[in-house]
């Protein structure tokens, strides 16, 4: 039999682990719009971002006196996404809990909850980059021999690559002056920051060295470092403009106690990513050899 006090204490431990540690593992989820939902099937719309212009004989410029205004129409494409459940669980034996030299319960709580956070971020990355295909999003392909870790130093030009990505987003009338992010994996972060041109323009925060993977800024973009970013790729995006994460249930962690035998630690989350503004994203391909 478990006393109420013990249950309350266990709840406090779980809450502290999730709040203070596991939630810091969300990197990409923190840069997009998170919207609650109670629907299993979620409909969204992609707006045609091409600027409206008048057709032949109906230009917007030079409307004659007393003439009817040229006709223009904004168009959208309907899309749907169904919720996804992310989850995992682990078991800690009674013996390990009582006799292990490390706090196996706390470590298992952390790693199990981090597993879900990592799965959610991976889902967001793949949705944001269309599984690294750049079908509808913008794309910049870096030529072979000019990768960010090219053996020929003078061929490396990550700053121009990033600026090309920003330019493509700007050409679709997105405001990149705020909410702009550069997503890279740890290796390419090293390659990027070691470049002489980047050293001259990068800014760094002094209050936190790392904040949900956000480690600094370059050419107006907040740099986010995450292992979910696929090798040989990076992305520039206006995060909250580009993608919405519809969330039915935030990260939950539960400890299921079987006295004298084991503790089962279970974590889960329910949501789905929706890329409603693909032109607010640019995928950089072949950033590493």
Q: Are the C-beta atoms of 272 and 246 separated by less than 8 Å?
A: yes
**Which residues constitute the domain of residue 237?**
4-48+78-285
Burial 94-106 (b: 16+ CB within 10 A, else e): eeeeeeeeeebbe
Q: Residue 13: pLDDT above 70?
A: no
* C-alpha span between 251 and 74 (Å, rounded): 38
The pLDDT score that the predictor gives to residue 191 is 92
The answer to whether residue 57 sits within a structural domain is: no
The answer to whether residue 71 sits within a structural domain is: no
Q: Residue 6: pLDDT above 70?
A: no
The pLDDT score that the predictor gives to residue 209 is 46
Query: Looking at per-residue confidence, does 164 or 3 come out higher?
Result: 164
Mean pLDDT to the nearest integer, 260-288: 92
pLDDT-derived band at 1, boundaries 50, 70, 90 = very low
What would the two tokens of residue 227 be?
Answer: 């292992």
The answer to whether residue 159 sits within a structural domain is: yes
pLDDT-derived band at 202, boundaries 50, 70, 90 = low
Q: Residue 266: pLDDT above 50?
A: yes
Instruction: Scan for tokens 């299993």, then name that residue.
Output: 40
The answer to whether residue 238 sits within a structural domain is: yes
DSSP annotation string for 107-156:
HHHHHHHHHHHHHHHHHHHHHHTTTTT-SSSEEEEPPTT-STT-SSGGG-
pLDDT tens digits, 247-256: 999 999 999 9
pLDDT tens digits, 29-81: 999 999 999 888 887 777 776 777 766 656 777 788 888 888 777 777 767 78
* C-alpha span between 272 and 120 (Å, rounded): 9
The mean of the pLDDT values for the chain is 85
> pTM for this structure?
0.83
The answer to whether residue 70 sits within a structural domain is: no
The answer to whether residue 64 sits within a structural domain is: no
The pLDDT score that the predictor gives to residue 17 is 67
The answer to whether residue 54 sits within a structural domain is: no
* C-alpha span between 162 and 157 (Å, rounded): 9
Counting the structural domains of the chain, the total is 1
pLDDT tens digits, 184-200: 999 999 999 888 888 77
Q: What is the CATH number of the domain that holds 135?
A: 3.90.1690.10
Q: Residue 89: pLDDT above 60?
A: yes
The pLDDT score that the predictor gives to residue 4 is 42
The answer to whether residue 60 sits within a structural domain is: no
Q: Are the C-beta atoms of 213 and 228 separated by less than 8 Å?
A: no
């Amino acid at each position: 039999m478990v006393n109420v006090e013990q249950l309350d204490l266990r709840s406090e431990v779980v809450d502290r682990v999730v709040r203070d540690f596991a939630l810091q593992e969300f990197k990409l989820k923190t840069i997009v719009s998170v919207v609650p939902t109670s629907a299993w099937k979620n409909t969204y719309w992609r707006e045609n971002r091409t600027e409206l212009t008048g057709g032949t004989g109906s230009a917007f410029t030079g409307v004659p006196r007393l003439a009817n205004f040229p006709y223009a129409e904004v168009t959208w494409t309907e899309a749907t996404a169904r919720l996804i459940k992310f989850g995992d669980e682990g078991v800690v034996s009674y013996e390990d809990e009582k006799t292990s030299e490390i706090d196996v319960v706390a470590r298992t709580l952390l790693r199990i909850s981090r597993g879900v956070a990592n799965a959610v971020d991976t889902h967001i990355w793949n949705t944001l980059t269309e599984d690294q295909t750049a079908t509808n999003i913008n794309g910049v392909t870096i030529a072979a021999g000019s990768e960010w870790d090219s053996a020929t130093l003078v061929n490396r030009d990550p700053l121009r690559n990033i600026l090309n990505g920003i330019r493509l987003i700007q050409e679709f009338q997105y405001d990149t002056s705020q909410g702009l992010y550069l997503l890279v994996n740890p290796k390419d972060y090293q390659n990027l920051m070691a470049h002489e041109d980047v050293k001259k323009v990068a800014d760094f925060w002094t209050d936190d060295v790392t904040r949900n993977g956000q480690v600094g800024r370059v050419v107006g973009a907040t740099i986010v470092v995450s292992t979910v970013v696929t090798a040989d790729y990076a992305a520039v995006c206006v995060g909250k403009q580009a993608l919405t994460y519809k969330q039915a249930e935030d990260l939950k962690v539960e400890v299921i106690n079987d006295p004298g035998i084991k503790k089962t630690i279970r974590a889960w989350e329910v949501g789905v990513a929706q890329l409603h503004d693909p032109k607010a994203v640019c995928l950089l391909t072949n950033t590493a050899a």
